[in-house]
Amino acid sequence: MDIALNDIPFHVVHLTGRERAYLDEVLATRGFGGNGKFTALCQDWLQTELGVSQAHLTPSCTDALEMAALLCDIGPGDEVIMPSYTYVSTANAFVLRGATPVFVDICPETLTLDPACVQAAVTPKTRAIVPVHYAGTACDMDALGRIASAHGLWLIEDAAHALLSRTPQGRYLGALGQVGCLSFHSTKNVTAGGGGALLVNDPGLLEKAQCIWHRGTDKAAFDNGEVSHYRWVAKGSAYQPGELMAAFLWAQLESARAITERRMQLHRRYLQGLAPLASKGLIRFPKGNDLTGNAHIVYVLAASRLQRDAWMGALASQGIHSAPHYVPLHSSPAGRKWGRTHGAMGVTDDTADCLLRLPLYPDLQYADVDRVVHVLRGQV
């Protein structure tokens, strides 16, 4: 899409200024293969900052989710409960293993899994629950954890939106289930153009996760001098990214907290500007993300698809780029083929019709936010 001089893009990748130096370092050493200095720096940062036992960089969050499905032995005949309002990778990771996604509805306040719907969907075939922290807003992990514990289920967090988001109690998302998955796609707060990470919080999974990450070999034991040569010992795949991606990501992670704080400032500006409309019930906001989230997405909810589309048109006429979000998986062709729903999906369907995402990135200016707010206030 062409962007005119005075347009406000929907998203612009933020650069910290150190990316080129780190990329040049990899080029100078020709250590392109991955699992080198920058991979170690990124993984150590994730483990230390988020408080997880183990972190493995992956080429994408899709790969991290697929690795999680393999790690938890999800297979044919298994059911995995998840929201329908999510990206296709959440479901694909388990469909590829022969499992059936079971789509349930979301809470209207947070657009995350409704624990009551999850509880009602559990069957003897259920093997895992996959909370998706939409927009960086925390699912009710205490309630979901109780359900998982009561039924002996894996809790696999899709935290693609949620780097440095926390629960109201201050715990980082991705570090609460047995396994968590992060994304560093170009649209995310911290990016390497692509990239992801598998976070392992269950001590019983650490050795197996290392084997899967090393293509199903015991190379970690070999590197530690525990065996004289490494062998194929488990199922695995090429889940290690190259070192160029890790170098770029390291420049971003070093500034992750500053990036998050800037996004939060802009998010608060949006909320303040649109508060008069919210107080009159003319516009709806997410709950909680302004306090403990990471401001990955700023969105508003219209009363109808017609109103949402009118907002998009009004913004576009002023050179402001906005966007809806997912087509729910349960209403998509592949979702109908390989998944099933449990219960009504009213909140999910209404959200898909009414949600509008607004521009948000660290280089956005307060004046840009005010311009967006001015257009929206003129429409309702």
CATH number for the domain harbouring residue 317: 3.90.1150.10
Identify whether residues 230 and 311 lie together within a single domain: no
Identify whether residues 188 and 41 lie together within a single domain: yes
Residues 312, 299: Cα–Cα separation, whole Å: 12
Average pLDDT, the chain: 95
Strand 154-158 to strand 179-183: parallel, antiparallel, or no bridges (unpaired)?
parallel
Identify whether residues 206 and 181 lie together within a single domain: yes
pLDDT at 74 over 80: yes
- pLDDT for 192-225, tens place per residue? 999 999 999 999 999 999 999 999 898 888 888 7
How many structural domains comprise the chain? Answer: 2
Identify whether residues 107 and 189 lie together within a single domain: yes
Amino acid at 125: K
Of 185, 220, 253, which residue constitutes the final position of a domain? 253
Is residue 10 in some structural domain? no
Is residue 1 in some structural domain? no
Identify whether residues 263 and 243 lie together within a single domain: no
CATH number for the domain harbouring residue 63: 3.40.640.10
The two three-digit tokens of residue 343, written as one number = 């219960």
Is residue 185 in some structural domain? yes
Residue 3 has what pLDDT? 63
Domain that holds residue 319: 256-377
pLDDT at 335 over 70: yes
Residues 242, 235: Cα–Cα separation, whole Å: 21
Identify whether residues 65 and 186 lie together within a single domain: yes
Q: What is the dihedral of CA 67, 68, 69, 71, to 10 degrees?
A: 90
pLDDT at 1 over 60: no
Is residue 48 in some structural domain? yes
Is residue 121 in some structural domain? yes
pLDDT at 289 over 60: no
What is the torsional sign of CA 258, 263, 268, 273? positive
Beta-carbon contacts of 341 under 8 Å, excluding residues fewer than 6 positions away, are: 84, 102, 103, 104, 330
Identify whether residues 291 and 239 lie together within a single domain: no
Identify whether residues 231 and 335 lie together within a single domain: no
Identify whether residues 207 and 313 lie together within a single domain: no
Identify whether residues 194 and 80 lie together within a single domain: yes
Of 253, 283, 305, which residue constitutes the final position of a domain? 253
Is residue 6 in some structural domain? no
Is residue 4 in some structural domain? no
Identify whether residues 99 and 130 lie together within a single domain: yes
Of 253, 283, 300, which residue constitutes the final position of a domain? 253
Is residue 210 in some structural domain? yes
Contact call for residues 325 and 352 (beta carbons, < 8 A): yes
Identify whether residues 234 and 365 lie together within a single domain: no
Q: What global pTM score does this model have?
A: 0.95
Determine the average pLDDT of the residues in 41-61.
98
Residues 307, 241: Cα–Cα separation, whole Å: 43
